[in-house]
Amino acid sequence: MQKSTFKFLAPIFCGMILTACYHPGLNGQNDFSVSAAVTRFIGTLTGDESKRALYDFNDTLRHKWTNLPVGLVPRPGIQYGSLSDQSRMAFHRVLTALLSSQGYLKTTSIMRLDDILNELYQTAYDEGKIDGAALKRMQNLRWAHGNYYISIWGSPNRTQPWGLNFGGHHIAISFTAVGDQVTMSPYFIGTDPSEVKSAKYAGLRVLSKEEDYGFMLINMLTSVQKAKAILSGEIPKDIITNPNSPQRIDGYYGLPAKQMSKQQVSMLKLLMEEYLHNFDHNYAHQLIQKIEKSGMKKIFFAWIGSLENNKPHYYIINGPDFLIEYDNVGFQNDGNHIHAIFREKGNNFGEDILKAHYLQPGH
């Protein structure tokens, strides 16, 4: 490579390896941190928009989230679809700071899937497969690419707690920061349909690996292992830890990783990391290191339902530090509607990092 070529590419390499390059102030255009991206986004808002988007950090509304459509449960914040092009562009920079490329593409694809879902229902009506009343019920749920809401809690800074929530149909991102400590728990994603089966986007599967890796793992198990991993009873109609349910998962169920082969443990890790690697590199690897420190042997995997896709199924991965729950049932009981959640135990909405912050001298 010629020197002149390297000189041209150097800034690109620098942008790829953020921690190895310069990191100017909070408002610097080359600062790729979440706080800088959110600050720039706020700067694009009008006064009225800021009033809708900005909240006090201690407002209890920050802890309220839902996986229901906006037509059933309104969200706080400013509607993404109401933003100017400049603000939308700035908010995409926020998403790319919060998430990996994988997580960013899943998020934006889930948003696009809402418009596809509307198109599928309209086509079903046009073809006489559903009546006008059914179409109207679906439209009243108000899922759409633009119908997601952004709320900022406190002011982005490097010393005091602040946060950001982004939610709508099948997305609930909950970011909390105190200095260099961050969490994105709870983190909910979903797809309907999980596989588009007709029209222009037939074959699209936004959360493909969450499903495929689960099937690969359960089908790698021996009959003796399956007897432990597969639980009896009905498949949950939704994730058990959804915000509208009083139920919680307090115990460990299924097959422990210590009873798996090396190949099976590798498959379990691959499935877990499909969720963890949705996050920005630094946060994802902090979680991975925390989990590895506690030990893979302490993680349990459990399954309910069919061992084939396109049929209802459910799994849970439960360890000392985290919980992953995945449910694929569907309104028609067709295994074509995914709800999934990642929780960092003890750190939902920043419980742990806030506790450590407030225990410091001066608080």
Q: HEC profile for 8-77?
A: HHHHHHHHHCHHHCCCCCCCCCCCCCHHHHHHHHHHCCCHHHHHHHEECCCCHHHHCCCCCCCCCCCCCC
CA angle 209, 166, 342 (to 5 degrees): 40
The b/e string for 139-154 (b: 16+ C-beta within 10 A; e otherwise) is: eebbbbbebbbbbbbb
- Could you give the CA distance from residue 181 to residue 121 in angstroms, rounded to a whole number? 43
Lookup result for tokens 């989230």: 65
Tens digit of each residue's pLDDT, the chain (363 residues): 444 443 444 444 344 433 333 333 344 456 689 999 999 999 999 999 999 999 999 999 999 999 889 999 999 999 999 999 999 999 999 999 999 999 999 999 999 999 999 999 999 999 999 999 999 999 999 999 999 999 999 999 988 999 999 999 999 999 999 988 999 999 999 999 999 999 999 999 999 999 999 999 999 999 999 999 999 989 998 999 888 766 678 889 999 999 999 999 999 999 999 999 999 999 999 999 999 999 999 999 999 999 999 999 999 999 999 999 999 997 777 899 999 999 999 999 988 777 665 556 665
Lookup result for tokens 């139920």: 247
The b/e string for 206-234 (b: 16+ C-beta within 10 A; e otherwise) is: bbebbbebbbebbebbeeebeebbbeeee
- Could you give the CA distance from residue 68 to residue 143 in angstroms, rounded to a whole number? 10
Task: Say what the pTM is.
Answer: 0.89
Tokens of 28: 């610097």
